[in-house]
Each structure stands twice: as structure tokens, then as C-alpha cells.
Structure 1
Amino acid sequence: MTVASNVKQCLASLKGAKETLSNLALKSSDEQAKRTFHESMLEVEEIISDLQKRIGHLEFEEPQYKGK
């Protein structure tokens, strides 16, 4: 598996984790838990953004990885 494939797989996993954290924040009745889930979701969003930039960089450097 290539580095680009690994990064894209990681990105997909993080998007799933973000959705799970979002759902937990919405469904939780404990205010502290809601805040914790929401803050964690925001952290994951930042990481997702960084990985998307990295994927763009990888695809620019190695065009054969684009869209895979």
C-alpha cells in the first residue's frame, strides 16, 4: 500500500470518528459529556483538514495517486 493510500484510508477513518463524536454530542444528556464530545469532534475536524492538505500535496507531487 502506498503512502497516499494509507493517508486516504486514515482520512476516511477520521471522518467516521468525527461523525460518531457528533452523534454522541447530540444524543448525550450530560452537559459535560456533550462538551467533551463536541470539543473532540472539533479537534478531529482540524486533523481532517490537515490531512486533506497533505493529500493534495501528495497528489501534486505524484499525479498517479490522484483520485485513488
Structure 2
Amino acid sequence: MTVGAQVKSCYASIKGIEASLRILRSQSNDLEAHDAYLETEHIIQEIKKDLEEQVLLLARQEPQYNQ
């Protein structure tokens, strides 16, 4: 698996985690848990943005990673 493919796979996993956190947050009746899910969601969104930038960078710098 190329570096580009690994980064894309990681990005897909992060998107799944983000969706799961959103579902858990919406189903939570506990305010503390709700806030924890929301805070974690924000962290995951930052990571997702960084990975998205990395995918674009790899595509520009290393055409062989473009899949």
C-alpha cells in the first residue's frame, strides 16, 4: 500500500469516527458525556482537515501516490 493510499485510508477511518461520535452525542442524555463527545468531535475535525491537506499535498508532490 502506498503512502497516499494509507493516508486516504486513515482519512476514511477518521470520517467514520466522526460520524460515530455525532451519533453518540445525539443519543446521549448525560450533559457531561454530550460535552465530551462534542469536544472530541472538534478534535477529530481538526485531524480530518490535516489529513485532507496531506492527501492534497501528496497528490501534488508525488504523482505516483495519486490513486
TM-score range, shorter chain: over 0.9
Preserved CA contact (<8 Å) 2:28 2:34:
yes
Q: TM-score, normalised by structure 1?
A: 0.93
Preserved CA contact (<8 Å) 2:3 2:65:
no
- Equivalent residue letter for 2:27: K
Paired position in structure 1 for 2:22: 22
Q: Identity of aligned pairs, percent?
A: 37
Whole-Å separation in 2 of the counterparts to 1:37 and 1:2: 33
Q: Where do 4+ consecutive residues of structure 1 move more than 2 Å?
A: 63-66
Q: TM-score, normalised by structure 2?
A: 0.94
Paired position in structure 2 for 1:62: 62
For CA contacts below 8 A with separation 6 or more, give which structure has more relative contact order. Answer: 2
Structure 1, unaligned stretches of length 5 or more? none
Shift, 1:23, TM fit: 0.6
